Amino acid sequence: MRAIIASMKKADVIAYFGSISNVADALKLSFQAVHQWPETVPLLRAYQIERLTLGKLKHQKIENFPMKTTQRTKTVYIAIDGKEFENQSDCIGYEARIERQEIRSEFAEQRTKTERAKKRLENLLADYDVCCAYESASARVFEAPPTEFVE
């Protein structure tokens, strides 16, 4: 990108017209407007002064002066895990998918815990049944026949 800048100096213009007031009158501006100009005269005012002075004061165009281009800022949406998205709806959808996956994994984990607890309970009940069966069998073996006292 190229820029056009004028190199007409404010001091040269004031010297030609005699004072800031005379420059302001010639351009139909206020004294403050001319006084606030930077060191170089603004481009459009430089053209105007060149025409008023019939070319005695000229501005030089420098057209091959490179301009700095600034990067356009873009909005970036950042998801929970730090992934970046250009679109808010994509970010929300991604976060929803993450939440669904987390819920599914928590559900699967709970299901696994429940199944383990169920198996432990079944094993305990089976052990209890074996134990009860053993106790009842051993009680029968060691049970003494009823004795009757005959008098």
pLDDT tens per residue, range 30-58: 999 998 988 888 888 888 888 888 888 88
Please identify, in words, the CATH class of the domain defined by 2-66. mainly alpha
Query: Do 47 and 79 touch, CB atoms closer than 8 A?
Result: no
- Percent of the chain clearing pLDDT 70 (strictly above): 72
Cβ-count burial of 103 within 10 angstroms (0-12 exposed, 13-18 middle, 19+ buried)? exposed
87: number of Cβ within 10 Å: 11
Q: How many residues does the chain have?
A: 151
Pairing of strands 77-78, 2-6: unpaired
CA distances from 83 to 21, 80, 93 (A): 61, 7, 12
Tokens for 2, please give them. Answer: 């190229």
Q: Taking 70 as the threshold, does the pLDDT of residue 136 lie above it?
A: no
Q: Provide the whole-model pTM.
A: 0.39
Radius of gyration in angstroms for the set of CA atoms belonging to the chain, rounded to a whole number: 48
As a whole number, mean pLDDT of residues 15-26 equals: 92
Q: Taking 50 as the threshold, does the pLDDT of residue 29 lie above it?
A: yes
CA distances from 87 to 13, 40, 76, 110 (A): 54, 45, 7, 35
Confidence of residue 21 (pLDDT cuts 50, 70, 90): very high
Q: What are the structural domain ranges in the chain?
A: 2-66, 86-141
Average predicted confidence (pLDDT) for the chain: 76
Residue pointed to by tokens 């009757």: 148
Give the model confidence (pLDDT) of 52-83 as tens digits. Answer: 888 888 877 655 444 445 566 667 777 767 77
